Chain A
Amino acid sequence: MTQYVVRRCLQAIPLLFLVNVFIFILLKFAGDPFAYLALDPTASPEDRAYLRRSLGLDDPVYMQFIHWYFGDDWYMRDLDFDGDAETPGDRKGILRGDFGQSIRYARPVVDVIGDYLPNTLILGSSALLVTVIAGVSIGVFAALRPYTWIDNIVTTLSFLTFSMPIFLIALLGVLFFSLTLKDLGLPYLPTGGMYETRGDRSLDELLIRLILPTMSIAAISTARYARFMRGSMLEVINADYIRTARAKGIKERRITWLHALKNASIPLVTLISLDIPFILSGAVVTETIFSWPGMGWLFINSLQTLDPPILLIFTLMVAVGVVVFQVVADILYAWVDPRIRFD
């Protein structure tokens, strides 16, 4: 087991490196991060030249790449434009734990991400919680009544939500729970942001604003979980040990929710852990719709303003997340099903 984990992690290193190189090269083609300053009358051409030079954007691309990994505190640049390179840089490079400075926020990338990550985790975990609870209940419910009209409705609905872009679900939610309720003079759900701009920052406020984005994400992904659970439950429900339990006179409810569900949810463990890294990225669209200040929102903003350090760290985080949770999924799978061994 330990050997397996170590091997997987070692295999992941060149992979993550490749991903990072790939994104790095791409962003070099994306254009000038300081293009926006050209419209700023307070920034003189000299200032811009100095900024570019001091941030290392004038260095050859392969040097920029080396600086990104190993830092530039050993590299001399000509910051006063006298043809004589004498000022060293101040970055340490990601291999020495320096994840760089955001160009747009003028703060360390770690701090910027630290501001936005918790918001995504709040939205992501509440969406995952709702999805799993709803998905499992609906799946079990449908599996207990296979091929009845209610099961068919569940199947049709899951096809429908599976084919929906999330913005349509979000729109329907807003139409019903915000606009219609507002027109009727009833209390309605707010549609944007985590808090009122100048309003209170209480937990109640957060929970109310969490409802619509959470429900939008859950509406899309519940269908997948429900179908998965239904299939997995149908396989288990006819097993011998369930018949034995029934023969022993155990109550049907107890059989379903304890005996059957326990084994039927083994594959679910894998599904959930493979889904977790996508929470980090998957909320891109939802966060944009509801102006939720999370990682997805930060990512889109950084793409629009072209902030390479944030984009590089974000993509690296997502890739690390995908790899780590693949290993976690394997470990959990072996843990809940002792028949599985790693060689």
Chain B
Amino acid sequence: MSDMTLNQQKSKIATLEAESQLKSRSLLAIATRRFLRHRMAVTGTIMLTLIALYVTVGALFYTEAQGNDTNILFKTEPPSSEFWFGSDLVGRDIFIRTIYGGQISIAIGVVSVFISISVGTLVGIVSGYFGGIVDALLGRITEMFLSIPPLILLLVLSSVIIKNATTVNILGREVSSTVVFIVVLIGLTSWMQLSRIVRGQVLSLKEQEYIMAARAIGAKDIGIIFRHLLPNIIAPIIVAATLGIGTAIITEAYLSFLGFGVQPPTATWGNILTGAQDRIDSVWWMWMAPGFFIVCTVLAINFIGDGLRDALDPRSIQ
């Protein structure tokens, strides 16, 4: 080592850095390649792209006001050349409502998962990393949330908030304030599974040498968590986030279906059925279109989630 010049050392370090960069890039590349070879995941991606095109491009041809426009003369029209997917109990065009409702449903899925992932990861890391009384306390809270089925809890929670629904302006669009509430509520009632997974991972990771080493050289807790722990538990978080979007979309549909979700006139795939809850045999078209879109979206998301799970599994990446 002593006869190695400074330049040689520098170049060696540079090579090492380049190698490590190459390694990390190739890990990502491997994951991408595995994902693209996963036939179901690719199908899911294509399906999801088509649905995204439907709800965005469709919005260029029709305005939301057209979808919210009621006309009692054309109520409960079965599908025809004028109403492609039929009309609902107050004569709104279900075809246009599936376009704008889709935007809201997908947005609810994505944003509520963002909330639930943040809460779940935070609770999991904090209780796993700090342990002791904090862990016990957070564990009890998690158990409390787990002991009421989410749908029941959500129904009670939203029965409180839908009583005083107003409209709010989000990104220049007038929507029912219940959209915001439902997003937050779904997010806050679906973090428990992930927090358990994250806690388990952190418990085993924090005993490993590299974490102890980081602590020994005086790294702060927050640095250890963000620089060393989080990157190592990111795979299950990504998978949970993907699958969570599907679950959130279905949950919103159930809530709206039962009349405790997003309130009309703002459409979602779930509340297009509003008023038809127990008229399954007389207005079947009101159920068909939103049901079809929910299945396709959730199926696509589940395919992608399955593909990601395989692609990101560290045990199968050589």
B102 in contact (CB, < 8 A): no
Residues in A neighbouring B125, C-beta threshold 8 A: none
In the complex, the answer to whether B273 meets A167 with C-beta atoms within 8 Å is: yes
- Contact partner, B148, options A164, A174, A291, A319, Cβ 8 Å: A319
CA distance A290 to B281 in the complex (A): 10
How near does chain A come to B192, taking the closest CB pair, in angstroms?
Answer: 12
When A and B form their complex, what is the total count of cross-chain residue pairs whose Cβ atoms lie within 8 Å?
130
Contact with A along B232-274 (1 / 0, CB 8 A): 0000000000000010001001100111100000000010010
| CB-CB nearest in chain A for B151 | A284
Binds B, one of A19-27, A63-71, A76-84: A19-27
In the complex, the answer to whether A288 meets B278 with C-beta atoms within 8 Å is: yes
Which residues of B in the span 258-299 have a Cβ within 8 Å of any Cβ on A? Answer: 258-260, 270, 273, 277-278, 280-281, 284, 287-288, 291-292, 294-295, 298-299
- Given A170-B280, A191-B281, A318-B148, decide whether A159 and B156 contact each other with a Cβ distance below 8 A: no
Contact with A along B68-81 (1 / 0, CB 8 A): 00000000000000
Residues in B neighbouring A31, C-beta threshold 8 A: 160, 163
- Contact partner, B302, options A14, A22, A163, A322, Cβ 8 Å: A163
Question: What is the interface of chain A mostly: helix, strand, loop, or mixed?
Answer: helix
Contact with B along A294-319 (1 / 0, CB 8 A): 00000110011010000100110011
Residues in A neighbouring B257, C-beta threshold 8 A: 165, 167, 285, 288
CA distance A288 to B260 in the complex (A): 13
- Given A15-B143, A165-B295, A179-B284, decide whether A26 and B157 contact each other with a Cβ distance below 8 A: yes
B159 in contact (CB, < 8 A): yes
Residues in B neighbouring A160, C-beta threshold 8 A: 295, 299
B89 in contact (CB, < 8 A): no
B155 in contact (CB, < 8 A): yes
How near does chain A come to B127, taking the closest CB pair, in angstroms?
Answer: 17
Residues in A neighbouring B156, C-beta threshold 8 A: 23, 26-27, 303, 311, 315
CA distance A16 to B146 in the complex (A): 11
| CB-CB nearest in chain A for B269 | A165
Which residues of A in the span 1-58 have a Cβ within 8 Å of any Cβ on B? Answer: 14-16, 18-19, 22-23, 26-27, 29-31
CA distance A318 to B160 in the complex (A): 20
CA distance A121 to B281 in the complex (A): 25
- Given A18-B144, A163-B302, decide whether A171 and B160 contact each other with a Cβ distance below 8 A: no
How near does chain B come to A61, taking the closest CB pair, in angstroms?
Answer: 15
A168 in contact (CB, < 8 A): yes
Residues in B neighbouring A23, C-beta threshold 8 A: 156
A281 in contact (CB, < 8 A): yes
How near does chain A come to B248, taking the closest CB pair, in angstroms?
Answer: 12
Residues in B neighbouring A116, C-beta threshold 8 A: none
Which residues of A in the span 313-343 have a Cβ within 8 Å of any Cβ on B? Answer: 314-315, 318-319, 322-323
A108 in contact (CB, < 8 A): no
CA distance A318 to B259 in the complex (A): 22
B147 in contact (CB, < 8 A): yes
B132 in contact (CB, < 8 A): no
In the complex, the answer to whether B159 meets A168 with C-beta atoms within 8 Å is: no
In the complex, the answer to whether B160 meets A163 with C-beta atoms within 8 Å is: no
In the complex, the answer to whether B295 meets A323 with C-beta atoms within 8 Å is: no
How near does chain A come to B295, taking the closest CB pair, in angstroms?
Answer: 5
B149 in contact (CB, < 8 A): yes
Residues in B neighbouring A277, C-beta threshold 8 A: 149
| CB-CB nearest in chain A for B146 | A322
In the complex, the answer to whether A299 meets B152 with C-beta atoms within 8 Å is: yes
In the complex, the answer to whether B299 meets A284 with C-beta atoms within 8 Å is: no
Contact with B along A151-168 (1 / 0, CB 8 A): 000000001101111011
- Given A30-B159, A168-B287, A284-B155, decide whether A15 and B140 contact each other with a Cβ distance below 8 A: yes
A250 in contact (CB, < 8 A): no
List the interface of chain A (C-beta within 8 A of B).
Answer: 14-16, 18-19, 22-23, 26-27, 29-31, 159-160, 162-165, 167-168, 170-171, 174-175, 178-179, 191-192, 277-278, 281-282, 284-285, 288-291, 299-300, 303-304, 306, 311, 314-315, 318-319, 322-323
**Given A159-B302, A319-B148, list of 4 further CB < 8 A pairs?**
A29-B160, A163-B298, A167-B291, A299-B152
Can you name 25 A-B residue pairings with CB atoms under 8 Å? Answer: A15-B144, A15-B147, A16-B147, A18-B144, A19-B144, A19-B148, A22-B144, A26-B157, A30-B160, A160-B299, A163-B302, A165-B254, A167-B273, A168-B287, A171-B291, A178-B281, A192-B280, A277-B149, A284-B152, A288-B258, A288-B277, A304-B259, A318-B152, A319-B147, A322-B146
